[in-house]
Amino acid sequence: MTPQALYHHGSRAVQDLVGVRESADHVGRSVGDGIRPVVAAFLEQRPMLVIGGADPAGAVWASLLTGEPGFVRATGPHQISVAGGPLRTDPLASTLAAEGARVGTIALDPRTRRRVRLNGRARPTPRGLAIETDQVFSNCPKYIQKREPLPGAIPGSPSEPRRGAKLTGEQRAFLAGADTFFLATVHPHGADASHRGGNPGFVQVPSPGEITWRDYPGNSMFLSLGNLATDPRAGLLFLDWRTGSTLQLTGTARTDHADDGTRTVRFTLSEAVETPGASPWSWTAPEYSAANPGQED
């Protein structure tokens, strides 16, 4: 894919501000619209898929889709199928029940620190949903914490979600101890879902309605921050890797660029949705990435 087709003016503005346009052009050439066999094999082994998009009211969310390995499959060179779809109570359930929703997805393997992103249009199917891809690419393993899946599903089923306009004290403590979350953003022609990781404490919660995090150096593409530069709507997904509970946040975000080159993203909350037991999978404690700032080798 050519850089002109991949990057809109928001991503270009951030690339130019940071001085990485040439590097972004080089990385962008690896982005295609087709699903190679190695990607298809990777997807079929995943028990989770993160999907981002906007609900009918325009709020942006990141949601977790789960199933037995094989629930995500490549069904053609430009299409994946997802069996089951989202939970009935998920904020994106009605969006994914409609034809042609713009979505971004990310498939992550904590065991190997591999990740693949697939963006395109979703449509409902009798078994769940299908996504026609227009962007498919892999990212480096930076900032991914290594985890191993524990055998067997967690007993029970998802509970009814708890909704609120402000974070509770327990939720704030959970976020402050997180080492991983997923970020959904949108632009006029699509959506994107990306990964953010770091040592516990890299996410800060200065108030019940605000979250901040340092944006660490990545692949120079600046798809997420580029989207935020043109449309501040954002969705965050935090997963309790032990219990399977999720905390989904929607709101707006902006990026502050400091004179020393560091970047801080500031997220203002509109609504929080906590779903106990949203995922049936449990994972081991993390082995933190050596790339995390402050991490010892």
Q: Say what the pTM is.
A: 0.97
Which region among 156-160, 164-168, 236-240, 253-257 has the lowest average model confidence (pLDDT)? 156-160
pLDDT band at 5 (very low <50, low <70, confident <90, very high): confident
C-beta neighbour count of 164 within 10 angstroms:
13
Span 21-47, pLDDT tens digits: 999 999 999 999 999 999 999 999 999
* pLDDT, tens only, 113-124: 999 999 999 999
CB 158 within 8 A of CB 278: yes
Helix and strand counts by DSSP (H, E) for the chain: 7, 15
Q: What is the pLDDT of residue 283?
A: 98
Gap between the Cα atoms of 250 and 175, Å rounded = 14
pLDDT of residue 33: 93
Q: pLDDT tens across 76-86, in order?
A: 999 999 999 99
Domains and CATH numbers, the chain: 3-275 (2.30.110.10)
For 51-90, b/e burial (b = at least 16 CB within 10 A) is bbbbbeeebbbbbbbbbeeebbebeeebbbbbeebbbeeb
Structure confidence at residue 1 as a pLDDT band (50, 70, 90):
confident
